[in-house]
Amino acid sequence: MPVVAAPIVKVAALADSIEKSARASAYSRFRFRRNGVKKAGMEHLPAIERSIEPTVEAILAARQGVPGALLPVLHEIQHAIGHIPPESVPLIARALNLSRAEVHGVISYYRHFRQAPTGRHVIRVCCAEACQAVGGEALAEHARTRLEGGGLSLEPVYCLGLCACGPAVQVDESTLHGRVTPQSFDALVAGLEAG
Q: Is the pLDDT of residue 4 over 70?
A: no
CATH superfamily label, 121-194: Glutaredoxin (3.40.30.10)
Reported confidence tier of residue 113, pLDDT bands at 50, 70, 90: very high
Alpha-carbon distances, residue 144 vs 22, 80, 124, 140, 150 (angstroms): 55, 27, 11, 6, 10
Q: Is the pLDDT of residue 2 over 90?
A: no
**Dihedral (CA of 83, 87, 88, 90) sign:** positive
**Burial level of 103, CB count in 10 A (0-12/13-18/19+)?**
buried
- How is the chain split among helix, strand and coil, in percent rounded to 5? 60, 10, 30
Smallest CA-to-CA distance from 137 within 156, 160, 112 is with: 156
Q: How far apart are CA 40 and CA 35, in angstroms?
A: 8
Q: How far apart are CA 195 and CA 191, in angstroms?
A: 6
Same fold, 46-117 and 121-194: no
Q: Is 112 left (phi over 0), alpha (psi -120 to 50) or beta?
A: alpha
Reported confidence tier of residue 102, pLDDT bands at 50, 70, 90: very high
Q: How far apart are CA 112 and CA 157, in angstroms?
A: 10
What average pLDDT does this structure show over 91-117? Answer: 93
Q: Is the pLDDT of residue 98 over 90?
A: yes
Looking at 3.40.50.720, 1.10.150.130, 3.30.70.1450, 1.10.10.1590, the CATH number of the domain 46-117 comes to: 1.10.10.1590
What's the pTM? Answer: 0.59
Computed over every residue of the chain, the mean pLDDT equals: 80
Residue-range domain boundaries for the chain: 1-40, 46-117, 121-194
Q: Is the pLDDT of residue 25 over 70?
A: no
What average pLDDT does this structure show over 35-56? Answer: 56
Q: Which residue has the higher pLDDT, 72 or 5?
A: 72
Instruction: Please report which residue ranges of 82-149 form alpha helices under DSSP H.
Output: 89-96, 100-109, 129-132, 136-147
Which stretch of DSSP H or E encloses residue 45?
Answer: none
Given this model, what pLDDT does residue 33 score?
A: 37
